[in-house]
Structure 1
Amino acid sequence: MNIYRQTQYWKILLIGLLTLIVIATILYSNYLAEKLAGEEQKKIELIANVYKKLNSASDNLDISFMFEIISSNTTVPLILADEKGKILGFKNIDSVRAQTDKIYLQNTLEEMKKKKEPIQIVFSENSKNFIYYNDSYLLSQLIYFPYIQSSIIVIFLIIAYFAFSSARRAEQNRVWVGMAKETAHQLGTPLSSLSAWGDYLENILPENIKEKFLPELTKDIQRLETITNRFSKIGSQPVLSEENLYTEIETMVDYIRKRASGKVDFNIHQSEGANIRALISVPLFGWVLENLLKNALDAMDGKGKIDIYISSNHVHAIVDIKDTGKGIHSSKFKTVFKPGYSTKQRGWGLGLSLSKRIIENYLKGKLFVKESVIGKGTTFRIILDEKKQ
């Protein structure tokens, strides 16, 4: 349906927008970092020139301004060393640690050598010093800032998404329960009246008319009672009991077979002598089977083959319902279980959604599309617990 296609488009749009924001943040931060790195390099080059000027300064030259330039560097860590690597001085480096740890300055110097090219201070052909430096603390923080910011945004959005999804699912569950309870309540009054009319007609009608009409009326009343019972169980925790799956599936297949065209072949497969039992609520499990079988009939347009395979792995009972219908595209394996999704013009799109809720929320099992091939058919799989936990 269009609503799910639009939802998918909105998700893609939001993800794309988030990606653009993250990329723009990283690019702009890298741009600022490069500009700041360039400014810091110019600052170090200026300090190198100052050192060179100081070395050749005459006694009557006012060098206070030069010392102010050197002192103005309060952010960029640097080490002054000679050609042999002997450390002559340092600035903006932990002086306390430098005094207590003899190899701290040397290790810092080696790290600076690996990261950036030093700036030479040439005093003469045979005499030169080097200024080694590293990124300032501010520049280091600026480089990592966009990644930290993006991570925080992504984490926040993930938490918000799951919180919103949980709240939406809880609201949907309340709506489901409310609708089911109200439906059961609304069916109760006319059903009681129908039952009373059935008893009355049984007493006053002649035997030949009773035998012709009352059995069908009784079946319809029983059917309505079953539907009312199913709806009444939604929202309350049903009592699960160990039941023979073959018996329950056979009962529902017989019911559907009578209402299907003669062009549909139904087959139930189970290992000979097997007695596969599972924890189920008979009314709710029957409801799920009815929905899946009717869905298969719709997919086959009233002709084809439906095979039901019952198996066990000694922990779970497995029921596969395979049809020879139109098939489902792999991208729709999860969408088909969403409320309102239907490929039929007059469909409500509630059968599969309700079936999945019953199996997973009430029978504590799983329901999913095992496999599907367009034009060949689909297999739905139900997994149920065999024994009480």
Structure 2
Amino acid sequence: MNHISGYRGNIRLWLKGYLFIGVAVLILAVLFYSNHIISRMEEQSEATTRLFSRFIADVVLQVQDVGKRELLQEVLREIKLPIIFSDADGRPLAWHRVGIPEPSDEEFATLLSIDPKDPPPGKIKRLVEMAADFDEANSPVPVRLGVSGNIQGYVHFGASELQRELRLMPLIQLGIFLVFMGVGLLGFRYLKLSEQRSIWIGMAKETAHQLGTPLSALLGWTQILKDKINEGKFDEVSLSLGEMEEDLNRLNKVTGRFSKIGSRPELTGIDIAPVLERTVSYFHRRLPSIKADSTISIDVGEIPKVEANEELLEWVLENLFKNGLDALGEGGGRIQVSTKHDASKQCVDIYIRDTGRGVPAVDRERIFSPGFTTKKRGWGLGLTLAKRIIEEYHGGELKLVESKPGKWTTFLIRLPVA
């Protein structure tokens, strides 16, 4: 069932792709909406300016020359746009919010005599060039006397300060999104690196633990052999050699397990009943020393073979049994193992229940996370490795089915039928 784990890997890749596309669509939607608002603002600005030009045509140009300039400047001060008012030939007569001081009386008297095609350098030339720039972005508004009268002048207008700020808003939003995504990616990378460090540390501790038990036993059996030989009890040597051979096989099994982590293990059709019985027997022999007053029972019905790697499956069972025994507490308890064939789903279910302290509701979502443990000397890697072995390598499922604090906890291993 390697294709199942590969399919799950593809799902994760698709989810990342959808997340990236979703963020990109969100950014584009915000940019589009911002540009839409800016366009509406520009339309409103142009409409305001055209209304202002009609006011100039209907009112300002019809007053006496003495008060014309003062009234025009007063109106300009109320307009929140950069505006240049010129005569029909392009000579600037009044301006507002363009960063150039208003003309003095002497300067204003000379404005009507300049050549707009060849303005004098300085303030006037800058105004003529600025009016040309305004006209490239917005068509100048003609000012007429009457409905169809002659053109008396033009109103040249640019973007308001608010419009300029709004035009920067999409870039600012894009920058914020990029910073947010960058911080998110850095945070995600930090979490991944932290998780990897926890896994490597846990793997090192798990390796030391797995190798330490048989190595310590071998050292003990070596000393026993020396004592038996010195005492001349050669008939008892064979018994010690048998125990040493079992520990050596245990070492070989441990190295085989770790060699399969990180690579795709070979899956074959196996009968899980012997695997369960062998694991239960292994813990049965050690119950008096590790958890007195405790029992492990097994009920295996008629089930088909499953597609699995025997060594890795045995490792998963050992981890779940160890967790169950740790959960029983000082008073001991029971661990019950049962199996069920689900023909509709083409899988075999293995239920492992302990009558221990249970898992609190707040911890049920985190028990498979690397580094999470409630043990004083634990590294929080056993269930993480077990879940990865079952789900990524076997295409199966490992989950906490139910847990009642102070009464029981049940785990489910689901494996596909061979």
For Structure 1 versus Structure 2, the TM-score category normalised by the shorter chain is: 0.5 to 0.7
Match of 2:305 in 1: 276
In structure 1, the partner of 2:322 is 294
Change (3 A) 1:143 1:68: same
- Displacement, 1:44? 8.2
Using the alignment, how far apart are the partners of 1:375 and 1:179 within structure 2?
Answer: 30
Deviations, residues 75-118 of structure 1 (Å, cap 9, x unaligned): 9xxxxxxxxxxxxxxx99776xxxxxxxxxxxxxxxxxxxxxxx
Secondary structure (helix, strand or coil) at the match of 1:336 reads coil
- 8 Å CA contact 1:369–1:379 kept in 2: the answer is yes
Which residue in 2 is equivalent to 1:376?
A: 407
Taking the aligned partners of 1:275 and 1:52, their CA distance within structure 2 comes to: 93
Structure index of larger Rg: 2
- Encode CA deviations 1:276-299: one digit per residue, 9 max, x unaligned: 3231132x3222212211211222
Q: CA deviation at 1:274?
A: 2.4
The within-5 A match list for 1:83-102 is none
Q: Establish whether residue 250 from structure 1 lines up as the match of residue 250 from structure 2.
A: no
Unaligned runs of 5+ in 2: 1-33, 77-82, 87-91, 99-134, 140-145, 147-158
Structure-2 separation of matches of 1:261 and 1:228:
29
Letter in 2 for 1:333: R
CA distance in 1, matches of 2:385, 2:354: 20
Amino acid at match of 2:313: F
CA contact 2:304–2:341 (8 Å) conserved in 1: no
Amino acid at match of 1:335: R
Q: Does 1:337 align with 2:364?
A: no
Q: Report the residue type matching 1:226 in the other structure.
A: R
Between the aligned partners of 2:304 and 2:239, the Cα distance in structure 1 is 33
Secondary structure in 1 matching 2:406: coil
Structure 1 171/351 Cα, relative in aligned 2: closer, same or farther at 3 Å? closer
2:63, 2:376 → 1: CA distance?
A: 99
> How far, CA to CA, are the matches of 1:179 and 1:345 in structure 2?
14
- Alignment partner, residue 226 of structure 1: 250
Q: Closer, same or farther in 2 for the Cα pair 1:160/1:221, shift >3 Å?
A: same
Q: Per the alignment, in what secondary structure is the counterpart of residue 319 of structure 1?
A: strand
Offset at residue 248 of structure 1 (A): 0.8
Tell me the alpha carbon deviations over residues 21-47 of structure 1, each in whole angstroms, 9 at most, x when there is no partner: xxxxxxxxx9xx9xxx9xx99998798
Are residue 356 (structure 1) and residue 387 (structure 2) matched?
yes
Q: Which moved more, 1:317-326 or 1:253-262?
A: 253-262
Shift of the alpha carbon at 1:332?
1.5
Cα offset, 1:370, TM superposition = 2.7
Query: Per-residue displacement from partner, 1:34-78 (whole Å, max 9, x unpaired)?
Result: xxx9xx999987985674354124364245866736996899xxx
Contact 1:316 1:385 in 2 (8 A): yes
Q: Secondary structure of 1:383's partner?
A: strand
Query: Which residues in structure 2 correspond to 1:108-147 (within 5 Å)?
Result: 137-141=163-167
Aligned match of 1:285: 313
- Asked if 1:52 is matched to 2:55, the reply is yes
Question: How big is the shift at 1:244?
Answer: 0.7
Deviation, 1:324, is 2.5
Q: Secondary structure at the match of 1:252?
A: helix
Deviations 1:227-268 (A, max 9, x none): 552145314444433211122112212332342545535232
Same amino acid, percent of matched pairs: 21
Q: Encode CA deviations 1:331-385: one digit per residue, 9 max, x unaligned.
A: 3124323455433345454433443344356555443323323233222222334
1:280-331 deviations in Å (ceiling 9; x for gaps): 132x322221221121122222113524334345544432212222221233
Q: Is the 8 A contact 2:353 2:410 kept in 1?
A: yes
Please tell me whether residue 326 in structure 1 is matched to residue 357 in structure 2.
yes
Please give the alpha-carbon distance, in whole angstroms, between the structure 1 residues aligned to 2:226 and 2:297. 39
Give the Cα separation in 2 of the matches to 1:222 and 1:285: 19
Greater relative contact order: 1 or 2 (C-alpha under 8 angstroms, separation 6 or more)? 2
**Bigger mean CA deviation after superposition, 307-316 or 296-305:** 307-316
Q: Note if 1:303 corresponds to 2:333.
A: yes
TM-score, L = length of structure 2: 0.53
Check the 8 A contact 2:403/2:409 in 1, yes or no: yes
What is the match of residue 189 of structure 2?
A: 163
Q: Distance in 1 between matches of 2:337 and 2:216?
A: 37
SS at match of 2:350: strand
Q: In the alignment, is the contact (CA less than 8 A) between 1:74 and 1:92 conserved in 2? A: no
Q: 1:280 to 1:192 in 2, by over 3 A?
A: same
Inter-CA distance 371–334: structure 2 relative to 1 (3 Å threshold): same
Cα distance 1:51–1:295, how it changes in 2: closer, same or farther (>3 A)?
A: same
Contact 1:177 1:234 in 2 (8 A): no
Q: 1:362 to 1:195 in 2, by over 3 A?
A: farther
- Structure 1 residues without counterparts, runs of 5 or longer: 1-29, 76-90, 96-122, 124-133
Alpha-carbon spacing, 1:232–1:281, altered in 2? closer, same or farther (3 Å): same
SS of aligned partner of 2:84: helix
Distance 1:232 1:367 in 2: 22
Q: Distance in 2 between matches of 1:345 and 1:191?
A: 25
In 2, Cα distance between the equivalents of 1:377 and 1:335?
18
Change in CA separation of 1:177 and 1:296 when aligned onto 2, cut-off 3 Å = closer
